[in-house]
A and B are shown apart, each in its own frame.
Chain A
Amino acid sequence: MKEAPLPLPYPDQGNSKGLHVCALSFLGNGPYTLDILPGECVGLIGRSGVGKTQLLRAVADVIAHGGDCLLNGIACSAIAPPLWRKRVAMVPAESYWWYDTVAPHFHGGVGQGQSIELLKKMGFSPDVGGWRVSRLSTGERQRLSLVRTLITAPQVLLLDEPTSSLDQAMVQVVEEIVTDICQMKQTICLWVSHDREQLFRMANRIYRVEAQALVEETTECM
């Protein structure tokens, strides 16, 4: 007798808001399950190589995975991949550039609306669009990469060590910008870092990524 198919491990979403990571598994890791409400920032910590970056890549749907993710009740598998990745945007630890100058990498250019304000906050002059990518420092690339994603107004931000190449003053600026976006636009943030102190400052909850599970850690400073 043919067995009845098992129910999908999705919670009853209905009109529920937020990001729901449902039994996500990849490359032998997981299944991971996690619910994040709008405006929340969740920190991910764990030893090198455990799969933190791969977890973000799976949520962004750029690697094959089991399980699914739902954003505001809509499953990743139910919508076109580019649309999902615009809503659930990942900023990798190392940024990549393919044109000679900065401007063409920005959707709609760098002189438009929100980008001017963000670039100014990040310490860039208005002529940054004409700068040659080959002359950018690692820190400048990291900041510009963040702006490049933020101006697309994603509903979920997946940040992979977004301040690893920045000085302390600029780390504070980035943290303020992300906090503002989470609070004002109700953007969801998944922040991977090895800097426990930073996650204590930024995250509502912190999880330690293990190969098979996410273990919640206390967010109280020791």
Chain B
Amino acid sequence: MHVISLSAFDLGLAAFLLILLAATSLRIGLGLEKRMLISGVRMTVQLLLIGLVLKVLFASSSLWLVLTMATIMLLVAGYEVWARQKRKLSGARGYLISTGSMLISSFTVTFLALTIMVGVDPWYTPQYAIPLLGMLLGNTMNGVALASDRLTTEIYNHRAMVEQRLLLGQNWQEASGDIRRDCMRTGMIPIINSMAAAGVVSLPGMMTGQILGGSSPLDAVKYQILIMFLIAAGTGFGVLTAIWLISRQLFDDRQRLVLDNLTDVQE
């Protein structure tokens, strides 16, 4: 089965729907229209560029090119996680923690999948490595960003309560335990919900793409199951890593709450 090629007019029609939504946003005063349009343009440019890059990458199959591409994707994902936090850790450590969490959540899991589960040879075959890494980075980024944002915000908003618990002789893990667990749940619930709804409420993007591309539905389903498990595990471990590393920065070596590390919220 051949994929029906989309013309620029077809894509333009789809873009018109977004423009319509932006106009509605402007009309009802949501204030999202600018961000919506910029994101739409950014997405289009980014995807067109990546299409060109992937074409070169797939043709060369060079390990160094794949690693360079993967590193750029990781650094951008780390920045996105850091930038999405309302009250973020200031300086390089905030960015390093976000990037480190994404490394745990995506790189390690992708490497495991390529070497053990998919077993593609060589393991860095770009047709497998880059889409898998991209899927993992894109999906785990949401969970890690949500959990990190919630942690810094909740600890800041409930600082008096956390200090009260410290004053009662609790250690920092106990004093912030309820908040940290709550943030971990916040980060993991979207992927848990996605797994529960997959195939019943929604047909996930990767599977849809494969079916449209002509793969057999059964093969598409198997890959989708694999990717869902990987995303769930990656999100979970990424969230755990981010929460632990950020929490450690919010308490000093005498287990005092130190919020000077957090940037002020710019409204």
- Chain B residues in 8 Å Cβ range of A89: 167-169
In the complex, identify which listed stretch (B6-14, B26-34, B184-192, B255-263) lies at the interface while the others stay far away.
B255-263
Contacts of B246 in A (CB 8 A): none
Partner of B167, one of A83, A85, A98, A107: A85
Which B residues touch A61, using CB under 8 A? 254, 256
Query: Interface readout for A52-63 with B: 1 if CB under 8 Å, 0 if not?
Result: 000000001111
- What's the Cα separation between A84 and B73 when bound, in Å? 47
Contact of B49 with A by CB under 8 A: no
Q: What residues make up the interface of A, taking CB atoms closer than 8 Å to B?
A: 60-64, 77, 81-83, 85-86, 89-92, 94-98, 107, 148-149, 152
Please judge, given known A-B contacts A98-B161, A98-B178, whether A85 and B254 are in contact too, CB under 8 Å. no
Per-position binary interface string of chain B over residues 166-210, scored 1 when its CB falls under 8 Å from any chain A CB and 0 otherwise: 111111000000100000000000000000000000000000000
Chain B residues lying within 8 Å of A77, measured Cβ to Cβ, are 254
Cβ of A4 to closest chain B Cβ, rounded Å: 26
| A82 lies within 8 A of B256 (CB) | no
13 A-B pairs, CB-CB below 8 angstroms? Answer: A62-B167, A64-B258, A82-B166, A82-B255, A85-B168, A85-B169, A89-B169, A92-B160, A94-B160, A96-B164, A148-B168, A152-B168, A152-B169
Main secondary structure of the interface of A (DSSP, over half): loop
Inter-chain contact A82/B167, CB cutoff 8 Å: no
A202 and B122 CA atoms in complex are apart in Å by 80
* Contact of A81 (CB < 8 Å), options: B161, B165, B255, B258: B255
* Interface size of B as a range: 10 to 19
- Distance in angstroms between the alpha carbons of A59 and B97 in the assembled complex: 33
Known: A98-B178, A149-B168. A63 touches B160 (CB 8 A): no
Which of chain B's residues has its CB closest to A145's CB? B164
**Does B252 have its Cβ within 8 Å of any Cβ on chain A?**
yes
CA A107 to CA B165, docked complex, whole Å: 11
Tell whether B80 is near chain A: CB-to-CB under 8 Å.
no
**Chain B interfacial positions (CB closer than 8 Å to A):** 160-161, 163-171, 178, 252, 254-258
- C-alpha gap A152/B26 in the complex (Å): 59
How many residue-residue contacts, CB under 8 A, span A and B?
Answer: 53
Which residues of A sit under 8 angstroms from B170, Cβ to Cβ?
Answer: 82
Q: Output the nearest chain A residue to B164 by Cβ-Cβ distance.
A: A96
B166 neighbours in A (Cβ, 8 Å): 62, 81-82, 85
Check B254 against A81 for contact (C-beta < 8 Å).
Answer: yes
Q: When chains A and B are docked, how far (Å) is the Cα of A91 from the Cα of B162? A: 14
B258 to chain A: which residues have CB within 8 Å?
Answer: 64
Contact partner of A82 (CB less than 8 A), chosen from B164, B169, B178, is B169
Given the complex of chains A and B, what is the CA–CA distance between A60 and B258 in angstroms?
Answer: 15
B169 adjacent to A92 (CB under 8 Å):
no
The 7 closest A-B pairs by CB, nearest first: A86-B169, A96-B164, A96-B161, A81-B255, A82-B171, A85-B169, A90-B167
Which residues of chain B are within 8 angstroms of A64 by Cβ–Cβ distance? 252, 254, 256, 258
Instruction: Give, as a whole number of angstroms, the nearest-CB distance from A115 to chain B.
Output: 14
Complex interface: chain A residues within 8 A of B171 (CB)? 81-82
Chain B residues within an 8 Å CB radius of A91: 167
- Check A92–B165 contact: CB distance below 8 A: no
Q: How far is the CA of A62 from the CA of B160 in the complex (A)?
A: 11
In chain A, what residue has the closest Cβ to B159?
A96
Q: Is the CB of A62 within 8 A of B256?
A: yes
Interchain CB contact under 8 A, A96 and B160? yes
Partner of B163, one of A62, A81, A82: A62
- Looking at B163, B167, B178, the one whose CB has the most chain A CB atoms below 10 A away is B167
B71 to chain A, nearest CB (A): 38
Min CB–CB distance A40 → chain B (angstroms): 22
* A72, B169: Cα distance in complex, Å: 19
- Contact indicator B169/A98 (Cβ below 8 Å): no
A25→B184 CA distance, assembly (Å): 38
